[in-house]
Amino acid sequence: MKALILSGGKGTRLRPLTYTGAKQLVPVANKPILWYGIEEMVTAGITDIGIIISPETGAEVQAKTGNGERFGANITYILQDKPAGLAHAVQVARPFLRDSPFVMYLGDNVIQQGDLSYFLKKFIQETQDALILLRPVANPSAFGVAKVDDAGRVLQLIEKPKIPPSNLALVGVYFFSHIIHEAIATIQPSTRGELEITDAIQCLIDRKKQVVACKLEGWWLDTGKKDDLLEANRLILDTYLTKSILGMVDSESQIIGRVQIGERSRIINCTIRGPVVIGTDCHLENCFIGPYSSIADNVTLIETDLEHSVVLENAKIVGIHQRIIDSVIGQRAQLTIAPRRPKALRFMIGDDCHIELT
């Protein structure tokens, strides 16, 4: 059994963060999103892992993630030269996959830990051609949607339908036998110009192959948007964070609840209310850090109130006398207050940015 994790794509919904980096490396609870998928594979017993990378961000993904040794895995990187669809990614990975059954996992998705092992066991024991995971959603038109009979057999798949046949959305985890390669060889590009994995699975259905769906009971998030990233951060901190204080906390500071503070970080006259994770070599002074905040390595926060937010490496926030909430602060970003209230606002704002003034 092998794993194929997709870490290409342009991450347009997370711009401007993804102008300068891979969306799958944006941290959730101070760990790159991609790594949760790798760890989930290893926990399920799959250690032969292929990772699809793009020309734009592939080198960064390789440098950050390495050869898999840190996870107890063997990682092979596979270049997809253009974002031509999920089925195209499987095509490109064929020399790695060969005729092995495999699980395909979208690298910007996060599922509750332990769920993968259960579905993998079911897939192997029942010798299915494909097993897909479904989750009820409020807005099925934004997803690939499945129509399923009472026995769990998949009858139809539709990609982002205007009139959904059900509210069961495809989760970004798929189990396939080698037969999927034959199906992919027969499909044509969609109107988006991509080879859709839903078309390949529909081909299996039309050929009366064994395609089964299971409902995912645990949580699942596609972290492609800011609010979903923050929700994933909240869920992971809420579910898995344990208390660990490795840095220096002075006597004037209050640490409440489950808080992790990394080595060589200094906490001076701060109140930190968990769950909160703080990386290494940070400096926090005269701050309130509220629940569900993740602060990466080498961050400086002075006279700052922060809650339900993610702050990336080497960011600096000084003297912002309003609480910062529901925010993602990029690497090396600097937020400071003007010495006096400006009479006018001056901006240079890049494409696809979202600015809120209150």
**Average model confidence (pLDDT) for the chain?**
88
Domains in the chain with CATH codes: 2-236 (3.90.550.10), 242-336 (2.160.10.10)
Cα separation, 182 vs 165, whole angstroms = 27
Q: Give yes or no for residue 20 having a pLDDT over 70.
A: no
Higher-pLDDT residue of 357 and 329 is 329
The reported pLDDT for the residue numbered 138 is: 84
| Residue 213 pLDDT greater than 50, yes or no | yes
Q: Which amino acid is at 29?
A: A
Look at residue 351 and tell me whether its pLDDT is greater than 70. Answer: no
Query: pLDDT tens for residues 21-55?
Result: 677 888 999 999 999 999 999 999 999 999 999 99
What is the structure's pLDDT at 21?
61
Q: What is the pLDDT of residues 143-185, one digit of tens each?
A: 888 888 887 788 888 878 888 888 888 888 999 999 999 999 9
Six-digit token string for 265: 């970080």
For the chain, the three-class secondary structure string (H helix, E strand, C coil) is: CEEEEEECCCCHHHCCHHHCCCHHHCEECCEEHHHHHHHHHHHCCCCEEEEEECCCCHHHHHHHHCCCHHHCCEEEEEECCCCCCHHHHHHHCHHHHCCCCEEEEECCEEECCCHHHHHHHHHHHCCCCEEEEEEECCCHHHCEEEEECCCCEEEEEEECCCCCCCCEEEEEEEEECCHHHHHHHHCCCCCCCCCCHHHHHHHHHHCCCCEEEEECCCCEEECCCHHHHHHHHHHHHHHHCCCEECCEECCCCEEECCEEECCCCEEECCEEECCEEECCCCEEECCEECCCEEECCCCEEECCEEECCEECCCCEEECCCCCEECCEECCCCEEECCCCCCCCCCCCCCCCCCCCCC
Query: To the nearest whole percent, how much of the chain has pLDDT over 90?
Result: 60
Most confident by average pLDDT, 147-151, 228-232, 284-288: 284-288
For 67, 149, 328, the CA distances from 4, given in Å and listed in that order, are: 15, 28, 29
Residue 135 confidence (pLDDT) above 60? yes
Mean pLDDT value across residues 110-132: 85
Residues 6+ apart with CB under 8 A from 340: none
Whether 335 shows a pLDDT value over 90: the answer reads no
**What pLDDT is stored for residue 341 in this prediction?**
62
Q: pLDDT higher for 144 or 253?
A: 253
Instruction: Using alpha carbons, select from 333, 306, 336, 332 the residue that is nearest to residue 320.
Output: 336
Arithmetic mean of pLDDT, 3-29:
70
pLDDT more than 70, % of the chain: 90
pLDDT of residue 286: 97
For range 98-127, the mean pLDDT:
87
Query: What pLDDT score was predicted for residue 24?
Result: 85
Q: What is the predicted pLDDT for the residue at 15? A: 46
Please choose, from the candidates 317, 321, 282, 315, the residue with its C-alpha nearest in 3D space to the C-alpha of residue 302. Answer: 317
Residue 75 has pLDDT above 90, yes or no: yes
Give the pLDDT confidence score for residue 35 in this predicted structure: 95
